[in-house]
């Protein structure tokens, strides 16, 4: 029995030792008391240190582990290039470029990693470890909007910049935007705007859509955005049905579609949910159906290559949008595919691309600001216009920290020429078409100094 | 009307899956008394039997895509197709049903190793320790699969001929729009056959009767000079095979990934307990009951009356049943009640 | 059951307090002495110590205690939003509300025992989780989690001062809840929680709970109505979970639904079993191990390994990195799973029991524990 053992088994020496340690704890200074936030006094100021640390917080376990692994590869590559190793990647094509290939502001870049487990609590714990223990001055990563929003607000509380990885919800740069959070990835609203014209061209203006929506914030914002677009085209919305996350078997939600009179199914699902619902919808013969004299169509507004792999041939011919694809022919994309491909032996995913770009953008902003002091770095990123990173001319909008750039409308490839050739680019929708007023989603960024 | 008919089918189909998954658990948990948190992992391993078999069949000759220079991109053509032409294609097409033959010995072996190597030593240990050891084992198995196949789901196509939908509406005079996927009908049939087989084995063979007797009263059977231990090993092996087969056949419906076992773990425990500890029939009945209720709860008409009901229906039904019937649907007195 | 004397208990308490309060010092070499992890140790310590009052003493295996953790968190965040950023009202409400829910759920679930009880608690927790994730979003903010906003009411705070420019942070009458001061506040609460648990273990009430565990039927025959005792234990452990949940929100003001998922309930079960069910210290050890793996092991990458092996010759370091890297970083789950298996095999009854065994083997002088004690400690 524990208490008995302890009471009997402690020698005088043990107790003396414990007492000594105890008094040492009493003398501990209070770290992290919130003091003046100033140019030379901010959290994790590298000061005169020879190196800086960045934190890469990605899902290493759970459903998105593969995506996380790809993000991590991109981060490592970015660190290499920043330190002047490797072939330089996008540093050869980025314009304007302040980076010199000698680290950031002359300091070597190091990194720490962590596992978000795609859970808000674990992600925040991991980010806190990076900030409190490892002393990172910026952290990045993520593959779900819930996690991104959770760690973004942590970034604001702690005064450490967060460069979001894969997050697609309108809320990340909408009602939950933060001064210390930045998103390069596109969002549901932009997906909707980009899909609109293509849907009109391919499916006409007289369609009835049925939505299956993952029952949480990302799903809702996507449903809302896509609905707005399709109704703008003149489509009817037959029904929108919420499905529990991780339902696995969606049959009970699919059978009601058969006789609903709808001729289009829009799947607002991501990851495993999307792979499952799409696989099962195809098995129910939806794609062989003729309704209202039209061929039944399925639309998956948000695509990723890993999802395409999981869904296999069920994805052939299905329309959706994506942030970036390795088959793009511009110089920036080619440069990135080349250095990533020769390093790892396969092409990068869109998650890898956005994470890589985010790291470079942050480093470049520090270089421009001439300091790591977050308010100055943030001011450099806000409204920053750049090119040569894939997706054409891009701007980090100051009002909501959302990047605006071209969006890809893609289709599941009917005749892939290789195992990576899963998505065929239908159209590169120009940036002007996906821009929207920053005010529509509300929210506020908060202060520069925390 | 059509909608209700289809939901009944959905419910039966789900129920078949739940019953099949729960059947193995109730053999181990309800009868051997081992709280087996690695049960989900067995289901997952079954699904990955079909994946490995499929990968084996589709070992391919790789034709490099020369237009891509930064990494090796290639088009694949399976050797089976190269060697046997259309025959090869047909064999690959039938990968999932054929992998049943592959999965039976593999799962049996896994079951036997698990029982002999680990579970056997925990029959007399506390439930708490059984939970810890089987949970640990489940994680290890999961991580091994993850390191071999990645975390992403792997698509497993059903055979071409049954990949579409059956026009069952025509059969029942309900019009052409009432269709149901062939594969799900096959799954329902398959689960029925397996369940019947297990029942027949336990009820009609002498071997099975001894096993059942051993479950009821291990000591007495032991006193009769029968080696109960060995029969328990067989039961565990049987449970592993049944669970594995549930996984194999489920692969075309749910592309397998390493985590799928954990997703089904809680569900299978709920089904077994609602059915009643120590009752095979109870588990099967509970599986179908929960499946059907879940399907109906997801109907838009029902959801508009009680929002969110489809999220909780399984648990709600479990609570109601356990409060009304203290030992679940058909549970025996005194099994796992302390 | 032989009850230790008051004096012995006091010694244990003192040592326990000293060990907890000096954690920032002695965890330094292990790389685990940063505020967030220390806070997590203390908070989950409270959770596990409370859980052990139910599971360890009565043997009732609840698989739904995460629900109370979640309720505590949501309550605390709402208190921060509506009343004040001071954690005192938040914690009080967390404990009370989760206690109330525990009373309700316990009243229903304790009608059954054994596995039936476990599944009932699981069902309630999963219903809470699923609803919080979806239809209860107006209250819980669903997947994103309940967060503070600048324009929250905060009635009490507004009486004294205007809203600042940024988000306010939580405090305990001026002591900040972030950083080391936050840890010390959690640590003091853990020590109090441990003290209460120790008193319960060695009280007549605790003895009755143990008696329920060893033979409930006999208890009933002797005229005891066991239900009130069980319900009291259930509510107390629910309130512990509520306190832990409230503290989680206090140190990090965000409450997410996944805190209530069955995996979260499973985690506290594993922590308790790993350390040793029914021992006072055991659950704390379980907490330490699992949280350490989750936060430190998961963060080891190849770069960190190379640094760790820097003292070796290059070729050996490379070999060692290749050998160990599958077990750290993204492989931390694998190591944890293997550890579970190994501990159960080699240390039956959890770490505490194992340590006792080892100790007994080495010191024959130690008095043999009485048979009854043994039975209750390793019991089913």
Q: For residues A244 and B8, give the distance between their C-alpha atoms in angstroms, rounded to a whole number.
A: 20
**What mean pLDDT comes out for the span C206-228?**
85
Tokens of residue A96, six digits: 């304007």
CB-closest option in B140, B147, B312 to C337: B140
CB-closest option in B129, B262, B337 to C116: B337
Cβ separation C176–A154 shorter than 8 A: no
C97 lies in which domain range? 6-261
Q: For residues C125 and C122, give the distance between their C-alpha atoms in angstroms, rounded to a whole number.
A: 5
Q: Which residue of A has its CA nearest to C13?
A: A3
pLDDT under 50: residue ranges of chain B: none
* pLDDT tens profile B302-333: 888 888 898 899 999 999 999 999 889 988 77
CB A71 within 8 A of CB C219: no
Q: For residues B90 and B77, give the distance between their C-alpha atoms in angstroms, rounded to a whole number.
A: 14
- Chain A contact for C354 (CB, 8 A cutoff): no
Closest CA to A139 of A153, A125, A155: A155
Cβ separation B316–C127 shorter than 8 A: yes
Q: Which residue of C has its CA nearest to B266?
A: C262
- Only one residue has tokens 């009485």, namely C370
Fold of A51-186+326-405: Rossmann fold (3.40.50)
Neighbours of chain B (3+ CB pairs under 8 A): A, C
CB B36 within 8 A of CB B29: yes
The count of domains in chain C is: 1
CB C58 within 8 A of CB C118: no
Measured CA distances, A335 to A69, A76, A319, A363, B105 (Å): 21, 16, 27, 19, 50
Q: Is residue C286 part of a domain?
A: no
Cβ separation A447–C36 shorter than 8 A: no
| C124: chain B residues, CB-CB within 8 Å | 315, 319
Q: Is residue C255 part of a domain?
A: yes
Question: Same CATH fold, A189-322 and A51-186+326-405?
Answer: yes
Q: Is residue C332 part of a domain?
A: no
- Chain A contact for C303 (CB, 8 A cutoff): yes
Domain boundaries, chain A: 51-186+326-405, 189-322
Neighbours of chain C (3+ CB pairs under 8 A): A, B
Q: For residues C246 and C252, give the distance between their C-alpha atoms in angstroms, rounded to a whole number.
A: 10
CB-closest option in A22, A30, A156 to C181: A30
**What mean pLDDT comes out for the span C354-371?**
66
Angle among Cα A156, A162, A164 to the nearest 5 degrees reads 125
In this predicted structure, what is the pLDDT of residue A265?
Answer: 96
Angle in degrees, 0-180, between the axes of helices B95-117 and B228-250, rounded to the nearest 10? 150
Cβ separation A450–C369 shorter than 8 A: no
| B264: chain A residues, CB-CB within 8 Å | 248
Q: What is this model's ipTM?
A: 0.91
Sequential DSSP letters for B81-102:
HHHHTHHHHHHHHTHHHHHHHH
Q: For residues A219 and A270, give the distance between their C-alpha atoms in angstroms, rounded to a whole number.
A: 8
| Best residue of B5, B9, B51, B73 to probe chain A, by most A CBs closer than 10 Å | B73
| B311: chain C residues, CB-CB within 8 Å | 127, 130-131, 133-135
| B65: chain A residues, CB-CB within 8 Å | 417-418, 421
CB A392 within 8 A of CB A408: no
Cβ separation A418–B311 shorter than 8 A: no
The size of the A-C interface in CB pairs under 8 A is: 194
Tokens of residue C113, six digits: 């025992």
**What mean pLDDT comes out for the span C335-356?**
88
Cβ separation A30–C180 shorter than 8 A: yes
* pLDDT tens profile C223-279: 778 899 999 999 999 999 999 999 999 999 989 888 999 999 999 999 999 999 989
CB-closest option in C120, C133, C340 to B132: C340
**Exposure of A261 in the CB half-sphere (CA atoms within 13 A):** 7
Q: Give the CATH architecture of domain A189-322.
A: 3-Layer(aba) Sandwich (3.40)
Q: Quote the minimal CA–CA distance from A444 to chain C in Å.
A: 9
* pLDDT tens profile A363-387: 999 999 999 999 999 999 999 999 9
pTM, two decimals, is 0.90
In this predicted structure, what is the pLDDT of residue A37?
Answer: 67
pLDDT at C214 exceeding the cut of 50: yes
Beta-ladder partners of A164: A141, A183
pLDDT under 70: residue ranges of chain A: 1-37
Cross-sheet strand order for the sheet of A385-386? A385-386, A394-396, A403-404
Closest CA to C165 of A156, B335, B173, A2: A156
Measured CA distances, A351 to A429, B73, B199, B265 (Å): 19, 20, 50, 31
Q: For residues A55 and A75, give the distance between their C-alpha atoms in angstroms, rounded to a whole number.
A: 9
Q: For residues C67 and C98, give the distance between their C-alpha atoms in angstroms, rounded to a whole number.
A: 9
- Chain A contact for B322 (CB, 8 A cutoff): no
CA B135 to chain centre: 18
Domain boundaries, chain B: 2-52+103-324
| A240: chain B residues, CB-CB within 8 Å | none
| A69: chain B residues, CB-CB within 8 Å | 151
Cβ separation B273–C115 shorter than 8 A: yes
Supply φ then ψ for residue A388, to 5 degrees.
85, 20
The helix/strand count (H/E) of chain A reads as: 14, 17
- Only one residue has tokens 């439930």, namely B127
Helix (H, G, I), strand (E, B) or coil at A370: coil
């Amino acid at each position: 029995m524990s208490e008995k053992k302890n009471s009997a088994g402690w020698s005088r020496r043990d107790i003396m030792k414990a007492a000594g340690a105890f008094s040492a704890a009493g003398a501990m200074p209070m770290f992290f008391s919130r003091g003046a936030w100033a140019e030379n006094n901010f959290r994790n100021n590298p000061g005169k240190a020879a190196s800086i640390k960045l934190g890469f917080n990605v899902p290493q376990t759970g459903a998105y582990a593969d995506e996380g692994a790809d993000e991590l590869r991109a981060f490592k590559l970015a660190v290499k290039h920043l330190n002047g190793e490797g072939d330089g990647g996008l540093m050869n094509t980025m314009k304007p470029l302040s980076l010199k290939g000698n680290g950031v502001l002359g300091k070597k870049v190091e990194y720490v990693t962590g596992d978000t487990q795609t859970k808000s609590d674990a992600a925040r714990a991991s980010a806190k470890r990076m900030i409190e223990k490892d002393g990172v001055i910026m952290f990045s990563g993520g593959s779900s909007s819930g996690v991104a929003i959770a760690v973004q607000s942590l970034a604001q509380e702690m005064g450490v910049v967060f460069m979001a990885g894969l997050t697609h919800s309108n809320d990340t740069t909408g009602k939950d935007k933060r001064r210390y959070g930045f998103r390069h990835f596109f969002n549901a609203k932009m997906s909707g705007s980009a899909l609109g014209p293509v849907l009109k061209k391919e499916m006409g203006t007289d369609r009835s859509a049925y939505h299956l929506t993952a029952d949480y914030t990302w799903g809702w914002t996507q449903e809302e955005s896509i609905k707005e677009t399709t109704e703008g085209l003149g489509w009817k919305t037959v029904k929108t049905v919420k499905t529990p996350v991780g339902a696995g078997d969606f049959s009970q939600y699919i059978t009601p579609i058969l006789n609903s009179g709808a001729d289009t199914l829009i799947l607002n699902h991501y990851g495993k949910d999307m792979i499952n619902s799409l696989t099962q919808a195809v098995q129910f013969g939806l794609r062989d159906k003729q309704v209202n004299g039209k061929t039944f169509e399925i639309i998956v507004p948000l695509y990723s290559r890993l999802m395409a792999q999981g869904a296999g041939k069920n994805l052939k011919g299905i329309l959706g949008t994506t942030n970036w694809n390795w088959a793009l022919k511009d110089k920036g994309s080619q440069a990135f595919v080349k250095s990533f491909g020769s390093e790892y032996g396969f092409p990068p995913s869109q998650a890898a691309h956005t994470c890589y770009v985010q790291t470079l953008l942050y480093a470049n902003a520090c270089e421009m600001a001439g300091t790591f002091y977050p308010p100055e770095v943030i001011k450099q990123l806000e409204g920053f216009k750049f090119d040569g990173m894939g997706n054409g001319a891009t701007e980090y909008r100051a009002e909501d920290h959302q990047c605006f750039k071209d969006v890809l409308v893609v289709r599941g490839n009917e005749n892939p020429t290789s195992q990576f050739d899963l998505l065929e680019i239908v159209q590169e929708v120009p940036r002007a078409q996906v821009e929207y007023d920053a005010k529509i989603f509300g929210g506020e960024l908060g202060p520069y100094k925390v | 009307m059509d909608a209700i008919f289809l939901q009944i089918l959905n419910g039966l189909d789900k129920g078949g899956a739940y019953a099949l998954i729960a059947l193995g658990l109730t053999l181990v948990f309800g009868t051997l008394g081992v709280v087996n948190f690695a049960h989900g992992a067995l289901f997952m391993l079954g699904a990955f039997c079909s994946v490995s078999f499929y990968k084996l069949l589709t070992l391919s000759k790789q034709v490099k895509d020369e237009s891509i220079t930064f990494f090796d991109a290639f088009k694949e053509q399976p050797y089976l197709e190269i060697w046997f032409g259309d025959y090869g294609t047909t064999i690959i097409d039938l990968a999932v049903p054929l992998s049943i033959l592959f999965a039976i010995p593999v799962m049996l072996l896994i079951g036997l190793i698990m029982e002999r190597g680990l579970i056997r030593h925990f029959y007399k240990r506390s439930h708490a320790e059984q939970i810890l050891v089987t949970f640990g084992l489940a994680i290890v198995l999961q991580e091994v699969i993850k390191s071999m196949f990645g975390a992403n789901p792997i698509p497993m196509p059903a055979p071409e001929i049954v990949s579409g939908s059956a026009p069952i509406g025509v059969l029942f005079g309900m019009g052409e729009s009432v269709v149901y996927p062939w594969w799900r009908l096959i799954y329902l049939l398959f689960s029925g056959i397996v369940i019947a087989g297990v029942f027949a084995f336990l009820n009609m063979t002498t071997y099975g009767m001894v096993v059942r007797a051993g479950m009821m009263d291990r000591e007495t059977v032991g006193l009769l000079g029968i080696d109960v231990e060995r029969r328990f090993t067989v039961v565990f092996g049987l449970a592993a095979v049944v669970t594995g087969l549930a996984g194999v056949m489920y692969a075309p419906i749910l592309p397998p990934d390493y985590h799928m076992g954990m997703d089904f773990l809680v569900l299978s425990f709920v089904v077994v307990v609602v059915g009643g500890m120590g009752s095979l029939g109870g588990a099967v009945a509970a599986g179908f009951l929960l499946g059907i209720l879940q399907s109906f709860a997801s109907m838009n008409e029902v959801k508009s009356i009680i929002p969110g009901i489809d999220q909780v229906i399984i648990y709600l039904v479990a609570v109601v049943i356990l409060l009304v019937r203290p030992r679940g649907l058909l549970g025996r007195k005194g099994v796992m009640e302390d | 059951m032989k009850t230790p004397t008051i004096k012995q208990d006091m010694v244990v308490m003192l040592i326990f307090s000293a060990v907890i309060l000096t954690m920032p010092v002695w965890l330094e070499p292990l790389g685990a002495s940063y505020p967030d992890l220390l806070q997590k140790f203390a908070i989950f310590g409270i959770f596990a110590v409370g859980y052990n009052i139910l599971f360890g003493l009565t043997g009732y295996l609840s698989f739904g205690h995460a629900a109370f953790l979640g309720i505590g968190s949501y309550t605390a965040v709402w208190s921060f939003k509506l009343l004040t950023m001071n954690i005192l009202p938040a914690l009080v409400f967390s404990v009370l509300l989760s206690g109330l829910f525990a009373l309700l759920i316990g009243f229903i679930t304790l009608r059954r025992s054994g596995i039936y009880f476990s599944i009932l608690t699981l069902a309630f927790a999963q219903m809470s989780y699923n609803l919080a994730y979806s239809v209860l979003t107006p209250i819980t903010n669903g997947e994103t989690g309940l967060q503070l906003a600048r324009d929250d009411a905060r009635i009490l705070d507004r009486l004294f001062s205007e809203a600042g420019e940024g988000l306010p942070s939580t405090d305990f009458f001026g002591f900040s809840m972030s950083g080391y001061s936050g840890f010390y506040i959690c640590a003091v609460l853990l020590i109090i929680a441990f003290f209460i648990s120790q008193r319960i273990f060695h009280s007549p009430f605790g003895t009755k709970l143990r008696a329920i565990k060893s033979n409930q039927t006999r208890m009933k025959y002797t005229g005891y109505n066991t239900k009130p005792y069980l319900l009291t234990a259930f509510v107390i452990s629910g309130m512990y979970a509520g306190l832990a949940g409230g503290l989680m929100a206090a140190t990090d003001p965000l409450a997410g639904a996944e805190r209530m998922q069955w995996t979260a309930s499973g985690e506290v079960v594993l922590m308790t079993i790993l350390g040793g069910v029914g021992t006072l210290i055991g659950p704390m050890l379980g907490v330490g191990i699992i949280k350490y793996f989750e936060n430190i092991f998961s963060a080891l990458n190849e770069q960190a390994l190379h640094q760790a092996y820097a003292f070796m010759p290059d070729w050996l370091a490379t070999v060692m990195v290749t050998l160990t890297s599958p077990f750290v970083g993204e492989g931390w789950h694998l190591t944890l799973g293997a550890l579970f298996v190994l501990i159960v095999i080699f240390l039956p009854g959890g770490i505490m029991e194992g340590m006792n065994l080892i100790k007994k083997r080495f010191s024959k002088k130690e008095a043999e524990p009485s048979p009854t004690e043994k039975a209750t400690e390793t019991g089913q």
